[in-house]
Amino acid sequence: MSVDVPGCPGDLDAVEAAAWAMLEEGAASRQAAFRRMTLASVGTDGAPEARTVVLRGADRAQRSIRFYTDVRSPKVAELEVDPRCAAVFYDHAAGIQVRLGGRAVLHRGDAGAAAEWAAMGAYSKICYAQKTGPGVPVDGPEPPSGPAGFDTAQSFANFVLVTVHIASLDWLFLSADGHRRARLWYDDARSPTWLAP
């Protein structure tokens, strides 16, 4: 028996389409609810680590998402040791959470990274120009700088494009009319299914 809930996709194909549409919108629009995600990984000491990153790309056909980071960030070392990771997105207004599980591939200095770098604006590239790597103690914040005067080659050397190949998608819809949850797997033969929320 199926009970319709207003605003909730009625079948698993529609759930998948809605989830990927939200991811694609998040990658394309700074105002989208899915623009930022919590990325979880396994620390080099085995402890869980989580942080917010900006979604830069979503590709339903390839079942992948992309974000950028600095090569000096601890998350790079973590993902090199153990590429398993999870990304959590939440749209408060819609009451929708999407959790993605997958494996990260790091692109540094390759054609993929170069193409993303070429499409970035100067102010975005400045983020990778800081002298000290992310998470390193400093005496105080570095003074802000404009696009003039930073080393583009060194900035690119610090830039990493991370592609996460999605193995599973967990979708949760929260509503006073009834919660709904579904899970899809992309890495094995398991069939998509509804889950108890």
Residue 137 lies in a domain: no
Residue 40 lies in a domain: yes
Residue 2 lies in a domain: no
Q: What is the CATH number of the domain that holds 109?
A: 2.30.110.10
Range of the domain at 92: 12-132+145-195
Residue 7 lies in a domain: no
User: Per residue in 3-52, pLDDT tens?
Assistant: 465 677 889 999 999 999 999 999 999 999 999 999 999 999 999 999 99
Choice between 176 and 42, residue whose per-residue pLDDT is larger: 42
Number of domains within the chain: 1
How much is the pTM?
A: 0.92
Residue 102 lies in a domain: yes
CA distances from 92 to 41, 43, 172, 178 (A): 24, 29, 12, 16
59-68, 109-118, 149-158, 183-192, range with the lowest pLDDT = 149-158
Residue 84 lies in a domain: yes
Residue 5 lies in a domain: no
Return the ∠ at Cα 158 (arms to 76 and 113), rounded to 5°.
85
Max CA separation in the chain (angstroms): 65
User: Per residue in 116-130, pLDDT tens?
Assistant: 999 998 888 988 988
Residue 88 lies in a domain: yes
